[in-house]
Structure 1
Amino acid sequence: MNVFRTVLSKAVEKNAVVFGCMIVLIMASTAHAQRRGRGPHLAYAYPAGCERGMSCEITLGGQYLKNADEFFVSGEGVSLEILNWYKPMARGEFTQLNRKLREAEIRLKAELNEEGGEAPSKAEVATYAGVTEEQLHEMEIYRRRDRDPKRQPNEQLNETVRVRVTVDANAVLGKRELRMIDGASISNPLWLHVGRWREVNESPPSEIVSYVDTVDEVVETLPTVINGQVMPGETDRFAFQAREGMKLVIQADAREVIPYLADAVPGWFQAVLRLTDETGREVSYSDSFQFRQDPVMYFEVPKDGKYIIEIRDSLYRGREDFVYRLTIGEIPFVTGIFPLGAPVDSEQTIQIRGWNLSNNRMTVSTMSRKRHRPIMRCRMTQSGGVGIQFPLQIGFWPEVFDREPNNTRKEAQSISTPRTINGRINYPGDEDVFKIEGGGRLVAEVAARQLGSPLDSMLRLTDADGNEVAFNDDYEDLTLALQTHHADSHLTATLAGGREHYLHITNAQHDGGSEFTYRLSLHRPQPSYDLRVTPSNIIAKAGQIVPIDVFVMRQDGFDEDIELSLMEPPEGFRIDGNVIPGNVDHIAMTLSLAPTTKVSRNKEPIQLEMQGVSRGGRRGNGLIRPAVPAENMMQAFIWHHLVPVENWNVVVDGKGGARMPFTLVPGNEAAKLNASEKIFIPIAPTSKTFDPSIMFVEVADPLDGISATVVKIRTGGYAIAVTVDNAAIAEEKHILLGDRGNLLLSVYKEITAKPTEEDPAPTPRRIDYGYLPAIPFEVTNRR
């Protein structure tokens, strides 16, 4: 990881003008200490990438960026330097300056009239009013933007930071996470692309934006990556020269740049491509590729000449964060893979289909059973050293290939379980049928879309008489955060022993072909789970306790408790409230930093790893799964997605804050919340002058029906009194008898000065101390 420190120059300060598709619906995160509030928010980067071995200037757009003067970038070989910060003039400032100019014009006219002079010029009025040329320029920009009916004001896009990016010649190609840091918080990530091909930016419009559809001549050679932005109603057009016989791939990356837009429907920039010859005749069109929203087209050039590629939004929307990367050239592109996976401890020959491939076959050796990972990333080298990458699913079961013909029950291929079938829907209307041997519980699950196949699978289980026993079309897999159509099927059924059963797989959209491949796994239920942890980047002080959120994606009826632990953490780092009850899918817990933790040099992050272990239950040995760091992204106002990121990072910044006025008494780290009376959690003051009357605790999340206060108890000590509202239980609100979870309590003090004549009702001054370690609880009616 590289983090680069930059300081805003005096010039910046001088020039500164004073956020069916079902994925996880996540309720508001409880990580209050990491909520960004007025921390930096990044909305877009333009251009969204840079050629390897080159330097380029990019603009980062967002909100609350002025004080963000440091970067966090994943990987090596990319450095950044801030050039300037800019924020357009606000309405209030414009109104004030406009009034000032009008008043100055009236006074100056009156003075000149008395002297018999001519009417003053605009420049003379501005000088008289004390309005600078820069302010006049910003006012003109404001007028043009305000008059543009297509432009909608959006505070989340209003500020910009211009940055110089330098990419080393040996930097690894691909996406990097880019975040900004302001000393108190870390921004959300953007993806910065390190590319192989020559890169150009669309020609800039005039500084005062006026959108006119013209043909841009920035493309000089191929391959080229064009970086652009689409504004409201705009169609970008780029001309390029092509020779007869060239096999061009034209690929638009829009969702690949910004996967989700929080405040736009359907939740991303839906790009459309149109290719014409120089007479304007359409020769190719694409609004998507297979199931992917980003369009791709393949075009064999019929004759030498000029061609024009157009890109726009499907609904003619646009704004600054409608950013794209448009690649044009004779480049390799994968359209299909077969098989889509292989078993552990094996060798498998993989066939690749696509365009401009000089090599379409390779043999891979999979990992051992002990080193198993569900996905193996493979790379195949093409001519010129260009690499193409693709995923392979690695399984445990024995594997077979489907054998044609197997379209009817009479031709059905006999399969014993457990088994994984590598198959293909060869043509529209094709159906593969498998005869299942044996009885008992059966899970049949398809992996196709999640591995890049366009197949929209549909599973149907029938008995010997053709009666339907079970059916599934789409299965919502919450771990696939970037998919907006969960088209892979997952079916569970109980097979009667001694009877024949047939499993049918086909394409729900009635398409087929060599690319429509699948993996169909048949096995008994395998209860399992996946974990996600947010926030993925934490900035904290030494000794601080910060809330984190852990989400569980349970599969095949998994309902066991999960215990989480840090893997080889720095000394003094600790997780509290680290058990996820078997009946919940989300829990808040706390991460404690040691008071002796050193401040991160140059904001270099500490990388943490956390894993969960199921407590066994009926299964005996526990299942171990990593807690994958994720970014909580919003789509189209209502949907939230836990998008995995590379690392879970903690940046230790500055000295510790105010000392916590009390601690939990050891041995009282868990609470039995009583539905009929208060319970008391003993605390130990850290100061002799401790005053419970000015100390307060807030229940985070908040948990409806639970409240807490600091009290003095009969023994002379102190405690946190926790009350459960019986009405909340009776009304079946958020809290129920038997519920288990974690109490997250934040501590603060309020001090009110004595009234004076000048201030008879002084406002209380609040001092926040942060969070106590998470306290596990269970709601019971037992005393």
Structure 2
Amino acid sequence: IYNPQGLQLHSDPQGGLLDFTSSVDGNYSVRLNDFIYKGGADYVYRLTVSTRPRIDMVYPPVGKAGTNAKFTLYGRNLPGGQASDWKTKDGKVLEKKEVQIQLPAGDARAKLKLTDHLDPRRAALDHLEYRLKSPQGTSVATYVGYGSESLVYETSGDNDAPEKAQTLNVPCEFVGKFFPASDKDRLRFTAKKGDIYQMEVFSERLGRPSHAFLLLEQLTKKDDGEETAKEIGKSMETASTLGGQVFDVSTRDPSLRFEAPADGDYRILVYDLFNSSSDPLNVYRLSIRKESPDFRLAAYSMLPPPVSTNSSPVFVKSPTIRKGETFPVKVMALRRDGFKDAIDLEVAGLPPFISYFPKRVPEGADSVTMLFRPSAKAMDWDGLFSITGKSKVGGKDVRRDCRFADVGWSSYDTQAKSAFSHIHVVPSAPFAILGRENTPVKVLVDDAKLAESAKKAFEAAEKASQEADKKAIDVQAKLKTPVDAETKAEQELAAKKKELADKEKARADLADNRLKTGKEKLVLAETA
């Protein structure tokens, strides 16, 4: 930003936010450029200049489901806002404003009502979109999460050192800060053998540029009272291959499942690997909760492969097909806490001449590709359709609405040759049929050749299995031969020993008989 005299007032090399208050009346100007001064027709940007409210953070970032809780908004141009003690990392003082927000309870937590662009990693979470209205306009959206446990806040004391770890009663929702720079938080709790908890950090998914690290230790005491720590778990991320580049739900937020190996005390260490500069807005949430198996559904329309790996694929596909064509939609089962049951899929909003399959996510499967196909009697049609998943959770029948990824725009990394999508999460997706047209090209599968190929593959597999079984029998026979020989030798040795023992007994008996006979003859001679 330049003042009326052409002098630079503010700048941001990272494409973020400029918070500017004019000191005098006049004409101000803004200059924008690519960081390395590149450009072109596909270098699109959007610049917003506004006096409407801006929410930098809602604190705490989580509330207990079903409560009408008090939250504090921190930001700029907040109607009725007051100066706060919180500042941005560049020293700007933030305003604060307290608000009451009603959080949903029960199955309503799984329903998202979102209107703004949302990172896919956050789209997989249950949370509420919140906006603040003012005469100057409505703020961009901020998000409030909800959990099932009570909130615990980081104390003002120093909990960096192991001996100063803050004590928690679990389960709970812990709210802390990675502040100041290089801050490390240590927490301890007591558990009984067999207790199972899910531990999950929320930081990157709160919009923070962080990479949290989570370490769990078991504490024991020696006879002299000295406390020792043993590492029993750690995590640096929650990886997932679901969703690809369109609906990527993997995150740098760590998580782990903890089962107490014994009664006693345990200690948690959590810190931000990227925390090299002080940022008071670097808030995080650590959820320590009992396991609660459940699921969510997410979906996106699949794309054909790119024509060339050197050209950026565009993550926008028309949901319009003709008779004879098929529209594929990938449905992801976001399973939680070990939920493995099958999920039945229902589609609403389609006319009867459109069929779809499969209609179930199998037990343990993470996703299926649903194929939507118009019949030969299809007519022109367009509209919205939605997907619902049904299953049993905790012995109870539940329904979960599917969350669709509606692509707003995409960006392309020329070095990695990879496209990244920016999506809106919507409850239903558009679809259209051109019933008056037939597809100009059909790809058909020859069932006879397919069956023949399958038969040959089966026969080859069966032959390979038989050969493997024969080799296994031969190997067992070879391994058994020395054992049989050793057994036979032991039997022969035992027989020889018995034979010698019998001969020795016979000789002893013969000697005894001869001695007895001699004595008898001697007695007879003396008598005569």
TM-score by length of 1: 0.44
Residue aligning to 1:565: 346
Aligned with 2:205: secondary structure? helix
Residue aligning to 1:390: 142
2:41 matches 1:320: yes
Matches within 5 A, 1:272-671: 275-277=1-3, 281-288=7-14, 294-302=15-23, 306-358=27-79, 359=81, 360-373=97-110, 374-405=126-157, 407=159, 408-439=161-192, 440-464=195-219, 465-476=228-239, 486-510=251-275, 511-527=277-293, 528-535=295-302, 538-541=319-322, 546-567=327-348, 569-582=350-363, 584-593=365-374, 598-600=379-381, 605-614=382-391, 620-621=395-396, 624-630=399-405, 635-636=412-413, 637-638=417-418, 643-646=423-426, 647-655=428-436, 657=438
Contact 1:541 1:654 in 2 (8 A): yes
Contact 2:130 2:142 in 1 (8 A): yes
Structure 1 CA distance for aligned equivalents of residues 330 and 430 of structure 2: 14
Structure 1 CA distance for aligned equivalents of residues 217 and 387 of structure 2: 43
Aligned with 1:287: secondary structure? coil
Aligned with 2:108: secondary structure? coil
Deviation of 1:504 (Å)? 2.4
Deviation of 1:473 (Å)? 2.8
- CA distance 1:542–1:482, shift in 2 (3 Å): closer
Structure 2: gaps (5+ residues)? 82-96, 111-125, 220-227, 303-316, 462-528
Contact 2:56 2:75 in 1 (8 A): yes
Aligned with 1:319: secondary structure? coil
Deviation of 1:346 (Å)? 0.3
Q: Which amino acid aligns with 1:638?
A: S
Contact 2:355 2:374 in 1 (8 A): yes
Matches within 5 A, 1:740-759: none
Deviation of 1:539 (Å)? 1.8
Deviation of 1:314 (Å)? 1.4
Aligned with 2:36: secondary structure? coil
Residue aligning to 1:723: 454
Aligned with 2:45: secondary structure? strand
Structure 2 CA distance for aligned equivalents of residues 470 and 728 of structure 1: 47
- CA distance 1:651–1:482, shift in 2 (3 Å): closer
Contact 1:381 1:388 in 2 (8 A): no
Contact 2:70 2:98 in 1 (8 A): yes
Contact 1:353 1:515 in 2 (8 A): no
- CA distance 1:300–1:538, shift in 2 (3 Å): closer
Partner deviation per Cα, 1:697-722 (whole Å, 9 max, x = no partner): 33xxxxxxxxx4348xxxxxxx9766
Partner deviation per Cα, 1:79-136 (whole Å, 9 max, x = no partner): xxxxxxxxxxxxxxxxxxxxxxxxxxxxxxxxxxxxxxxxxxxxxxxxxxxxxxxxxx
Matches within 5 A, 1:48-87: none
Q: Which amino acid aligns with 1:493?
A: F
Q: Which amino acid aligns with 2:71?
A: I
Structure 2 CA distance for aligned equivalents of residues 448 and 573 of structure 1: 43
Q: Which amino acid aligns with 1:723?
A: A
Contact 2:322 2:439 in 1 (8 A): no
CA RMSD for the aligned pairs? 3.9
Aligned with 1:372: secondary structure? helix
- CA distance 1:641–1:710, shift in 2 (3 Å): farther
Residue aligning to 2:84: none
Q: Which amino acid aligns with 1:327?
A: T
Higher percent of residues as helix: 2
Contact 2:53 2:132 in 1 (8 A): no
Deviation of 1:529 (Å)? 4.9
Contact 1:573 1:592 in 2 (8 A): yes
Matches within 5 A, 1:91-130: none
Aligned with 1:500: secondary structure? strand
- CA distance 1:549–1:312, shift in 2 (3 Å): same
Structure 2 CA distance for aligned equivalents of residues 620 and 551 of structure 1: 22
Deviation of 1:565 (Å)? 1.9
Structure 1 CA distance for aligned equivalents of residues 190 and 263 of structure 2: 9
Structure 2 CA distance for aligned equivalents of residues 629 and 729 of structure 1: 43
- CA distance 1:468–1:481, shift in 2 (3 Å): farther
Structure 1 CA distance for aligned equivalents of residues 67 and 60 of structure 2: 13
- CA distance 1:530–1:411, shift in 2 (3 Å): farther
Aligned with 1:450: secondary structure? helix
Contact 1:696 1:709 in 2 (8 A): no
Contact 1:544 1:593 in 2 (8 A): yes
Deviation of 1:311 (Å)? 0.9
- CA distance 1:611–1:456, shift in 2 (3 Å): same
- CA distance 1:482–1:652, shift in 2 (3 Å): closer
Matches within 5 A, 1:172-211: none
Contact 1:350 1:362 in 2 (8 A): yes
Partner deviation per Cα, 1:687-746 (whole Å, 9 max, x = no partner): xxxxxxxx9833xxxxxxxxx4348xxxxxxx976626639997xxxxxxxxxxxxxxxx
- CA distance 1:645–1:347, shift in 2 (3 Å): closer
Residue aligning to 1:761: none
- CA distance 1:468–1:283, shift in 2 (3 Å): farther
Deviation of 1:635 (Å)? 4.0
Contact 2:53 2:137 in 1 (8 A): no
Structure 2 CA distance for aligned equivalents of residues 612 and 384 of structure 1: 41
Structure 1 CA distance for aligned equivalents of residues 456 and 396 of structure 2: 39
Decide which moves more: 542-551 or 411-420: 542-551
Structure 1 CA distance for aligned equivalents of residues 205 and 230 of structure 2: 30
Structure 1: gaps (5+ residues)? 1-274, 289-293, 660-694, 699-707, 712-718, 731-783
Matched positions, count:
395
2:444 matches 1:697: yes
Deviation of 1:441 (Å)? 3.0
Contact 2:55 2:139 in 1 (8 A): no
**Residue identity (%):** 17
Deviation of 1:521 (Å)? 0.9
- CA distance 1:501–1:596, shift in 2 (3 Å): same
Contact 2:53 2:133 in 1 (8 A): no
Structure 1 CA distance for aligned equivalents of residues 215 and 455 of structure 2: 49
Contact 1:276 1:282 in 2 (8 A): yes
Structure 2 CA distance for aligned equivalents of residues 409 and 301 of structure 1: 48
Contact 1:629 1:648 in 2 (8 A): yes
